[in-house]
Amino acid sequence: MKVAYLNCIGGASGDMLLGALVDAGVSIDWLDDLIRSLNVGGVSLSAEIGSRNGVTGTLVSVNIAQERVPLRWQEMSRIVEESCLGETVIKRAVKVFRRLAEAEALVHRTEITETHFHELGDLDTLVDVVGTIAGIEALEIDCIYSSPLPSGSGIIDSAHGILPIPAPATAALFSLSKAPVVAPPNNVLSAGEMVTPTGAAIITTLATFEQPDMRFENVGYGLGRRDNNDYPNVVALWIGVKIDDSHAARLVLLETNIDDMSAEQVSFTQERLFNLGALDVWFTPIQMKKNRPGTMISALVPASLESQAASLIMTETTTLGVRVTRVTRYESERKLVDVKTSFGTVSVKMKRLNGCSVSVSPEYEDCRAIALDTGVPLQEVYRRVKQEASDELLPN
């Protein structure tokens, strides 16, 4: 699967996204012809190479011949739907316009049918949305991912007056999508607007907020208008092939150190964690402050159980805190199979990798029952069952 990751170093706007796509290989002439095919008149695109705080990239400009009456979101949708653009581009563009309208309706406390775009009704919003979506398709990108979005800081002039950063429409888009938002680089107080409503609408509609494992193939940098001394005002578009992680489980490792509980109490905590759904729980003897012997409790749990498991540990132990580490565990396929052996039918666990059976492991409880019934040593039962199961289930 071909994927792209937006590293929003300096935030994101519509023209920055266009710049990143052109820098990554999309032809500016092709994009210009595509925009002209919308038949809105007097609009063209141009691109130039530049740098922002040492990072070289592409600045794309949307050139509009004359001022026009702002378009409503329904009009933008109609222009796109009546165009010769591909079906995927049309559907995604209309979805972005509607997301923008929902944000404006939320800000102004109106119904979406009554929403006006004001500055967002300019033709450059139409061009940014359509151009970005078409560029993504031109690069044959299957899936878009994004880093958290920087909030920006300060104030901005608008048709509504002086507005805080992020602008209300941008903040509404963050809220509607539950987007992860982080402080400006180095907590700069004069960062200004880092994510525009158009940039936020495109990313929150099309992207998933996580960083994929990928084989890196290409990168494009889209430049913002300002050259900020505190950070590079660019958005980076990483392009590559997603690494197959179908056998990778996203887990959480919870750990805490204890030196004032009995073994029975610690054991009870382990029992509770297993009942909750922990995949593994173990104890490690450690040396704590003032040379006191202690026990580190470690629990490996699915990410969905993180808060419940942490709460259980806090409740059942004397700890004042729990450490959390996110881990990835690669897992093979496992299948429980009943095998006919010289001892009768025994359950064995079969391990498979890439569609092939590679090993078998007899189930302990079955082997234990056979050893008790027959008097044959457990290790002999285990050896014979494993050999017979291997002969039947595994390739030569």
pLDDT score of 157? 80
Angle between helices 197-206 and 168-177 (to 10 degrees): 10
Residues 212 and 297 reside in one and the same domain: no
Q: What is the pLDDT of residue 159?
A: 66
CATH of the domain at 262: 3.30.70.1380
The verdict on 176 and 146 lying in the same domain is: yes
Q: Are residues 267 and 285 in the same domain?
A: yes
What number of other Cβ atoms are within 10 A of residue 2's Cβ? 14
Single-letter residue type at 306: E
User: 262 and 165, same structural domain?
Assistant: no
Nearest 5 degrees, angle CA 363-CA 368-CA 371? 130
- Give me the pLDDT at residue 120, please: 53
Do 375 and 286 fall into the same domain? no
Q: How far apart are CA 319 and CA 325, in angstroms?
A: 17
What SS3 state is found at 45? strand
Residues 136 and 277 both lie in one domain: no
pLDDT score of 66: 74
Residues, the chain, total? 396
Domain final position from 211, 242, 273: 242
Cα 377 to Cα 368, 382, 383: the distances in Å are 9, 9, 10
Alpha carbon distances (Å) from 77 to 74, 101, 319: 5, 11, 57
Pair of tokens at residue 143: 């899936």
Q: Residue-wise over 316-329: b if at least 16 C-beta within 10 A, else e? A: bbebeebeeeeeee
What amino acid is encoded at 263 in this protein?
A
pLDDT the model gives residue 264: 95
- Where does residue 116 fall: left (phi above 0), alpha (psi -120 to 50 degrees), or beta otherwise? beta
Nearest one of 9, 3, 2 to 232, comparing CA atoms:
9
* Full residue range of the structural domain in which residue 359 is found: 333-393
For residues 142-165, one letter each, b for 16 or more C-beta atoms within 10 angstroms of the residue's C-beta and e for the rest, the string is eebbbbebbbbbeeeeeeeeebeb
Question: What pTM was estimated for this model as a whole?
Answer: 0.68
Phi and psi angles of residue 15, each rounded to the nearest 5 degrees, phi first: -70, -30
pLDDT of 160:
66
Q: How many domains does the chain contain in total?
A: 3
The type of residue at 290 is K
At 314 the pLDDT is 96
Question: What is the full per-residue pLDDT of the chain (396 aa) written as tens digits?
Answer: 899 999 999 999 999 999 999 999 999 999 999 999 998 888 999 999 999 999 999 999 999 887 776 788 889 999 999 999 999 999 999 999 999 999 988 888 888 876 666 555 578 899 999 999 999 999 999 999 999 999 999 888 876 678 899 999 999 999 999 999 999 998 888 888 999 999 999 999 999 999 988 999 999 999 999 998 889 999 999 999 988 766 677 899 999 999 999 999 999 999 999 999 999 999 999 999 888 999 999 999 998 899 999 999 999 999 999 999 999 888 888 888 899 999 999 999 999 887 788 999 999 999 999 999 999 999 999 999 999 999 988 876
Domain termination residue (choose one: 287, 313, 330): 330
Token pair recorded at residue 99: 């997301």
Task: Kindly state whether residues 234 and 322 are assigned to the same domain.
Answer: no
- Same domain, yes or no, for 186 and 198? yes
Contacts of 291 (CB under 8 A, 6+ apart): none
Per 3-state DSSP, the chain is made up of helix, strand and coil in percentages (nearest 5) of: 40, 35, 30
Same-domain pairing of 258 and 355:
no
State whether 91 and 113 are in the same domain: yes
Q: Which of 330, 354, 369 is the last residue of a domain?
A: 330
- Residues 13, 26, single domain; the answer is yes
pLDDT value of residue 118: 55
The SS3 call for residue 225 is coil
* Together in a domain, 158 and 173: yes
